[in-house]
Amino acid sequence: MQAAELAWWKAFLEHPTAKQRMWALYGARYYGFFWKELHDLGTVVEIGAGPLPVIEVGIAHVAVAVDTLSEHYVEAGLTDWRSWADIEEIPDGYADTVLLLNVLDHTDKPEQLIAAALRILQPDGKVLVFVHLGQEDDKHGLVTKADCDRWLKGFEVERAEILARAEFDPPAYAAVAVKHG
């Protein structure tokens, strides 16, 4: 899955308006659903940040991006944003907010990412989840609403919604969930 992810970003970012198109998509899908939460993130960790981290826009007091492909993105000239490669380097209880935006469907180990989010969140910390549903290919695992419900068992879900398919984007599940104190 990771080789396909790296190849997709390389191809996507070759287009001269790639970053503007990506921010337009982020704005419509991620920022729209999480608008209230994005104004009060505190210390934030974005897991699966890719070469264009959402936190790059400077909406957090302290921002840490984590992506196992970080060094590959930098080496390929796709970004100058340095992400941590290993979530295990982040201390327990470090974050007020963890972003899992469009990452759980791009990994073979979503349960490990959720467990990491629980570990690094402070009591009453929030996780913002955005995951594409029903899409399976070389860079997406098949995810259902039931998967999302199972993954968030350690959290109190404040609100969740299935977002309709958008242009160039499949249906998605978005949720704001709080770690039990």
pLDDT tens-digit profile of 83-140? Answer: 666 788 899 999 999 999 888 988 888 999 999 999 999 999 999 999 989 877 666 6
Separation between Cα atoms, residue 101 and residue 104, nearest integer Å: 8
Residue 131 identity (one-letter amino acid): V
pLDDT of residue 25: 65
* Residue partners of 91: CB distance under 8 A and separation at least 6: 120
> Residue 17 has what pLDDT?
79
What total of structural domains would you count in the chain? 1
Q: Which helix (H) or strand (E) holds 132?
A: strand 121-132
The pLDDT, as a whole number, for residue 158 is: 95
Distance separating the N- and C-terminal Cα atoms of the chain: 35
2-13 and 18-26 helices, crossing angle to 10°: 120
pLDDT for position 44:
87
Instruction: Give me 104's structure tokens.
Output: 């759980």
Look at residue 59 and tell me whether its pLDDT is greater than 80.
no
pLDDT score recorded for residue 64? 77
- CA angle 86/127/82 to nearest 5° reads 35
Q: Is the model more confident about 57 or about 121? A: 121
Gap between the Cα atoms of 37 and 67, Å rounded: 22
Whole-prediction pTM: 0.81
- CA dist 37 and 178 (Å) reads 12
Residue 30 identity: Y
The domain spanning residue 124 has which CATH number?
3.40.50.150
Between 9 and 135, the higher pLDDT residue: 135
Query: Residue 46's pLDDT is what?
Result: 87
Which tops the pLDDT comparison, 100 or 9? 100
- Tell me the pLDDT tens digit for each residue of 127-175: 999 998 987 766 667 899 999 999 999 899 999 999 888 777 788 899 9
Domain that holds residue 111: 2-179
Q: Could you read off the pLDDT of 18-32 as tens digits, one per residue? A: 767 666 666 666 667
